[in-house]
Structure 1
């Protein structure tokens, strides 16, 4: 599995270590049985870059917390079929927006970024939350994936795992 983390946000050090974001990505992809040769990029950007992406691709003003850009339309694997190989796509995070959201919610920015990363990867895999039943399925899965990742590391989170706005 190839997971590249790029910090183009100007925040050094990043609120979440690059290795932890890569480890989370690997955990999510393994749990969902995505092909072991799948490729994922996680990029942290500043507010100006995120605002430009948000306006160009969503036709909405200002920066947002997370955006997902799927490439090969990979989906979670199932028992009856082998998962497809390919490029999953890109998750783009904006740490400064995440920081504001974390402060408003009363939890750590690192927890918010882990939550948003999980949320973005699920979008790459075709999950959505436009309809109530889809929202319930996506947020339940998001909660499970994030909490199992943190439990493996002997940690908990203060972020509400059902959150996610993208």
Structure 2
């Protein structure tokens, strides 16, 4: 499948950078985020098209992961779906919180380009916002298959295949 604009949905992203230091030039641009999120939303005919993507330090990631998931360690991406009050329709999908340091470390450990790992995690997080999960093996298989398909549109290799 092509990566042209026809396969992406229009999205509005609030890109937040809450980093004290580090190589913030390695962060995805707003254009990158719009392309990756747009492909996910277009694959779902999704009407909710607004979200926040926040890049954070390890301490913020760890605090959120501890408080919301009961895991006292930083993680690569956290997804917080927006739940509108009954009777209110808003285009908000939710928030993604991404720990830059964890992403860079994982990309190096897994011998992946940082940009490719970011693309995977942004799409993975968006799928969580849309209700996908990977707790049960069948759900994980379906989610991973979709991630592979979407990433292939950007010529990004299967993130689940072990390195050669």
Residues 17-55 of structure 1, C-alpha deviation per residue, up to 9 Å, x if partnerless? 2320122112211221101x5311111111111011111
Contact 1:50 1:94 in 2 (8 A): yes
Consecutive unaligned residues in structure 2, runs of 5 or more: 1-10
Give the match for residue 62 of structure 1: 73
The alignment's TM-score, normalised by the length of structure 2, stands at 0.80
Q: Equivalent of 2:83, from 72, 78, 83?
A: 72
Give the match for residue 4 of structure 1: 14
Give the match for residue 46 of structure 2: 34
Give runs of aligned pairs for residues 85-104 of structure 1, distance below 5 A.
86-104=91-109
Equivalent pairs, count: 145
The alignment's TM-score, normalised by the length of structure 1, stands at 0.79
Name the SS of the counterpart of 1:128 in structure 2: coil
- Off by >6 Å, runs of 4+ in structure 1: none
Give runs of aligned pairs for residues 106-145 of structure 1, distance below 5 A.
106-145=111-150
